[in-house]
Amino acid sequence: MGAGCRLGVACRELGLSIRTVERWRRVPNGGEDQRRGPKEKPSHALTEAERAEVVRVANEPEYRSCGPKQIVPRLADLGIYIASESSFYRILRQDNLIVPRGACRPRTVIRPEEIIAKGPNELWSWDITYLPAAVKGTFYYLYLFVDVWSRRIMKAEVRATECADAASELIRAAYAEHGVEPDTLRLHSDNGSPMKGGTTLATMQALGIVPSFSRPSVSDDNPYSEALFRTIKYAPAYPRKPFESLEAAWAWVERFVAWYNHEHLHSAIGFVTPDQRHRGADLAVFANRRAVYEAAQQRNPARWSGRTREWDAPAVVPLNPREPETRARASASRRLGAMPATSMAPTEGSRCAPTSHRRQVDEVLAS
C-alpha cells in the first residue's frame, strides 16, 4: 500500500478480509496475538523419552504402514500403553511424519485430458440410463448421444439389452446420419462395459473416432450426459408409472428428443434451442433479441444504468477443464468476444472462426 495500492486490491492479493485489516489497525500494538497459553508445562505432559518412544514405535517395520488408529489398538492387544491416539497424531504431525512411512502410498489420481469443443460435431458425449419396465426389477436401456458444444441430442434409442453390439450399431448410425468427417470427432463416455467393449472400440477405430473415458466411479467426468439424464427424468412429462412396453418407452423418448432439440430453450447456450445452436441459426436469434432490447433502451433510457442484456453464448465449451484457467478463458471468450491465442484458437472451418460469436451477431444485426 505504500506504493499507492488500494486496500481492497491489497487484501485480495493477500487473501485477507478488509474487516480483518481494519480490526488490526484498531489495536494499539498492531494486532499481535494476545494469547499467552499456559505459564507452566502441564505436570502430566509426555516426557521427552515418551515422545521419542512414540516416534520409534510408529516407524518400526511392523507399524510403519499403519496410522495411529491401527497402532494404538495393536499395542493394547500386546498389553502396551505409550500414549493416546490423539497424542500419537500430535507428535507425528509435529515431526512431519503424518505421511506414508512404508510400502503404503496414497492413491494417485490422474485427471482426465482436457477437451475443448469449438464447434458442432467435434465432441460428443454418450451414456446409457435405465427406464423402468412394467415388471418390477426389469428395465429398458436408453442409449443417448449428445453434442457437447451445441447440447443437441444426436442419437437416442431404447433397447431391451445393454451391450457393446448395440452401442456399436448406434455409433455407426449416428456417424452416417450426421455426416461426420473421419478423424474429426471425439466420443466421451464413462467406463461401462458397453463403452469399453471390443466391438465398440473397433467400430470407433474404423470410423476414425477418438475415444475418451471418465475416471472410474467419477460421474463428474461425464457431466453433459448426466445432466441430460436429469433433465429427462425430472421433466414434467416424464411418466409417473413404468413403461408398459419397449415400444411405449421408445415413443415417449422420440417425443422428448423432438421437444428438447427444437423447442427447449437451453440456459447454457443463451436460451436458444440445441438445434438452432447446432445449425448456426442462433446468431440471428441473438441479433433479433439485441435489437429488441436496444430499441426498448432507446424508448426508456432511464430504465437502464448500463448496457442491455448480453444475448450471447459461449464460443467454446470445455470438458473436464483444468481449473481455473480454462473456465476463465471460456468465460472471457463469451463476455469479451475475443478468442484466446492459446489452445482455444479457432481452426480453419471452425464454427467461431475467424471472428468471435458476439461479433458474428453484430454482423448479422448490421445486415
User: Is 33 a residue whose pLDDT tops 70?
Assistant: no
Is the CB of residue 90 less than 8 Å from the CB of residue 84?
no
Q: How confident is the model at residue 217 (pLDDT cuts 50, 70, 90)?
A: confident
User: In the prediction, which pLDDT does 4 show?
Assistant: 80
User: In the prediction, which pLDDT does 329 show?
Assistant: 52
The residues that bridge with 243 in the sheet, in sequence order, are 133
Q: Is the dihedral of CA 108, 109, 112, 113 positive or negative?
A: negative
Answer yes or no: pTM beyond 0.85. no
User: In the prediction, which pLDDT does 97 show?
Assistant: 86
User: Is 336 a residue whose pLDDT tops 50?
Assistant: no
Q: Is beta strand 153-159 parallel, antiparallel or unpaired with respect to 139-147?
A: antiparallel
Is the CB of residue 183 less than 8 Å from the CB of residue 207?
no
User: In the prediction, which pLDDT does 75 show?
Assistant: 92
* pLDDT per position as a tens digit, 218-233: 777 889 999 999 999 9
User: In the prediction, which pLDDT does 352 show?
Assistant: 39
User: Is 3 a residue whose pLDDT tops 90?
Assistant: no
Under the phi-then-psi rule, with left for phi > 0, alpha for psi from -120 to 50, and beta for the rest, what region is 60? beta
For residues 94-99, average pLDDT: 85
User: In the prediction, which pLDDT does 105 show?
Assistant: 66
Of 106, 194, 182, the residue nearest 157 (C-alpha): 194
User: Is 348 a residue whose pLDDT tops 50?
Assistant: no
State the chain's mean pLDDT as an integer: 84
Is the CB of residue 118 less than 8 Å from the CB of residue 149?
yes
- How far from 180 is each of 154, 199, 206, 248, CA to CA, in Å? 11, 20, 13, 30
User: Is 35 a residue whose pLDDT tops 90?
Assistant: no
Domain definitions of the chain by residue range: 1-33, 48-94, 115-264, 274-366
- When mean pLDDT is compared across 14-28, 256-270, 286-300, the lowest value belongs to 14-28
Q: How confident is the model at residue 72 (pLDDT cuts 50, 70, 90)?
A: very high
Is the CB of residue 77 less than 8 Å from the CB of residue 114?
no
Percent of the chain with pLDDT over 70: 83
Q: How far is the C-alpha of 120 from the C-alpha of 261, rounded, in Å?
A: 14
User: Is 104 a residue whose pLDDT tops 70?
Assistant: no
Q: How far is the C-alpha of 264 from the C-alpha of 29, rounded, in Å?
A: 62
For residues 272-289, average pLDDT: 95
Q: Is beta strand 210-213 parallel, antiparallel or unpaired with respect to 186-189?
A: parallel
User: Is 338 a residue whose pLDDT tops 80?
Assistant: no
User: Is 14 a residue whose pLDDT tops 90?
Assistant: no
For residues 53-59, average pLDDT: 93
Q: How confident is the model at residue 99 (pLDDT cuts 50, 70, 90)?
A: confident
For residues 62-86, average pLDDT: 91
Q: How confident is the model at residue 335 (pLDDT cuts 50, 70, 90)?
A: very low
User: Is 53 a residue whose pLDDT tops 90?
Assistant: yes
CATH code at 115-264? 3.30.420.10
- When mean pLDDT is compared across 129-138, 243-252, 307-316, 352-361, the lowest value belongs to 352-361
